[in-house]
Structure 1
Amino acid sequence: MPHPTRTWTPVCPLDRLDPDRGVAALIDGVQVALFRTADGLFALDNRDPVAGAYVLSRGIVGSRGGVPTVASPLHKQVYDLRTGVCLDLPGVAATRHDVRCRDGLVEVRLRQEE
Structure 2
Amino acid sequence: MPADHPPARENPMNTDGASATSTATALAEGVWTPVCALADIVPDTGVCALIGGRQIAIVRVGQGDTLYAISNYDPFSRAMVLARGIVGDRGGIPKITSPIYKQGFDLRSGQCLDEPSIVIPVYAVRLQAGMVEVLAGG
Counterpart residue type for residue 111 of structure 2: V
Aligned positions of 1:1-114 closer than 5 A? 1=16, 3-38=27-62, 40-111=66-137
Superposition RMSD on alpha carbons, in Å? Answer: 1.6
Please give the alpha-carbon distance, in whole angstroms, between the structure 1 residues aligned to 2:37 and 2:73. Answer: 23
Q: What's the secondary structure of 1:23's corresponding residue?
A: strand
Contact 2:29 2:137 in 1 (8 A): no
What's the CA shift string for 1:63-97, capped at 9, x where partnerless? Answer: 00011100001110000011111000021011001
- Per-residue deviation, 1:111: 4.4
Unpaired stretches in structure 2, ≥5 consecutive residues: 1-15, 18-26
What's the CA shift string for 1:10-66, capped at 9, x where partnerless? Answer: 111111111001111111111001111137100000001222210000100010001
> Deviation above 3 Å: which 4+ runs of structure 1?
1-5
Query: Which has the higher Rg, Structure 1 or Structure 2?
Result: 2
CA separation of 1:93 and 1:111: change in aligned 2, threshold 3 A: farther
Please give the alpha-carbon distance, in whole angstroms, between the structure 2 residues aligned to 1:14 and 1:90. Answer: 31
TM-score under structure 2 length normalisation:
0.76
Contact 1:35 1:42 in 2 (8 A): yes
TM-score under structure 1 length normalisation:
0.91
Aligned residue pair count: 112
Q: What's the secondary structure of 2:108's corresponding residue?
A: coil
Contact 1:5 1:28 in 2 (8 A): no
Contact 2:103 2:113 in 1 (8 A): yes
Counterpart residue type for residue 42 of structure 1: Y
Unpaired stretches in structure 1, ≥5 consecutive residues: none
